[in-house]
Amino acid sequence: MTARNNDALASPFLSFTRAEWAELAHNTPLPLTDADVARVRGLGDPIDLAEVDQIYRPLSRLLTLHSEAVGALHQATSAFLGERASRTPFVIGIAGSVAVGKSTTARVLRELLARWPSSPRVELVTTDGFLLPNAILEERGLMARKGFPESYDRQALRHFIAAVKSGVAEVSAPVYSHVTYDIIPDECVTVSHPDVLIVEGLNVLQPAAVRTRESPALAVSDYFDVSIYVDADPAHVRAWYIERFLSFRATAFAREDSYFKNYASLTDTQAVERASFIWDTINAPNLERNIEPTRSRATIILRKSRNHAVESVHMRKI
């Protein structure tokens, strides 16, 4: 197995073509079982099982190698210090554009990582739970900025992840509904000291913005052990967003409690026009200004082609 090194002197990343990466599946123990396949199929996402096997199986092994190495470092450090503090969860951040498929990546990895004996308990949190409620976004004139860094309660998100990485036994996060397009009042998700926590969201690789004595220069990503950026040509992501919007007319938008009930009856032309407008005025500027500039901060970049398949994998040199 030879890793093609695009620019050995200048790049901190090792690059693998899809074929090179898929070869690693042969070197990966624990091939998918029937039960794994059934669970992944049950996710309801249009992901090909060959993709899971060729791309995500080796990726899950690579991530457990990192996690096991951190575990060994914890043991060695504890022995040296004579400390008995238990190990904190191994945290994986997943970043990328709206509609690039972050949630599928996160859910597939959750399933695969849980099969490895060193990480049976894997939990997943999405950062949309930390969006400010619509009432506050409206008050601040930010409704057309949903997903931009300023539309989140960034301090609450940072405190959440800091508590997880401080070893707090139970940490709660608020929950967002894509259907009602708002935070669900009085609902929360609780993270109870898992082996692995996956944190998925548009802006998780943002560097710290404010540096004052009261607000220290810490970002969510400072608490990640490993991070993944799901990448694709913005023109492809725009097309995926529009295609998904068209199909939501018969599913999510058709629900009685949908914030977008009116969209369910749009014609194809009207729906394409509406989706294009949302993409061009909200999601594309957010991708260009805030999300894409964080790509090179990731440990691993998964680059997708027009058909959603991962065409290359880029990994930081160690």
Ligand X SMILES: CC(C)(COP(=O)(O)O)[C@@H](O)C(=O)NCCC(=O)O
Binding interface with ligand ADP (CB under 6 A) = 96, 98-103, 178-179, 248, 252, 260
Distance CA 169, CA 88 (A): 10
Q: Which DSSP state fits 233? A: -
Residue 97 interacting with ligand X (CB under 6 A) = no
Minimum CB distance to ligand ADP, residue 148 (Å): 13
Residue 201 interacting with ligand X (CB under 6 A) = yes
State which of residues 36, 128, 225, 231 lies at the interface with ligand X (CB under 6 A): 128
Distance CA 37, CA 20 (A): 23
Minimum CB distance to ligand ADP, residue 99 (Å): 4
Identity of the residue, 25 or 52, whose beta carbon is nearer to ligand ADP in the bound complex: 52
Identity of the residue, 99 or 196, whose beta carbon is nearer to ligand ADP in the bound complex: 99
CA-based Rg of the chain, rounded to a whole angstrom? 20
Minimum CB distance to ligand ADP, residue 103 (Å): 3
Residue 248 partner contact from ligand X, ligand ADP, none using kind-dependent CB cut-offs of 5 to 8 Å: ligand ADP
Minimum CB distance to ligand ADP, residue 287 (Å): 11
Whether the Cβ atoms of residue 86 and residue 141 lie closer than 8 Å to each other: no
Q: Choose the binding region for ligand X from 3-11, 123-131, 162-170, 215-223 (rule: CB under 6 A).
A: 123-131
- The contacts of residue 111 (CB under 8 Å, 6+ apart) are 36, 39, 40, 43
Q: How far is CA 269 from CA 41, 266, 273, 275, in A?
A: 32, 8, 6, 10
Distance CA 300, CA 281 (A): 29
**138 sits in which H/E element:** helix 134-139
Which residues are annotated binding-site positions for ATP?
96-103
Interface contacts to ligand X, rule CB under 6 A: 98, 126-128, 146-147, 201-202, 278, 282-283
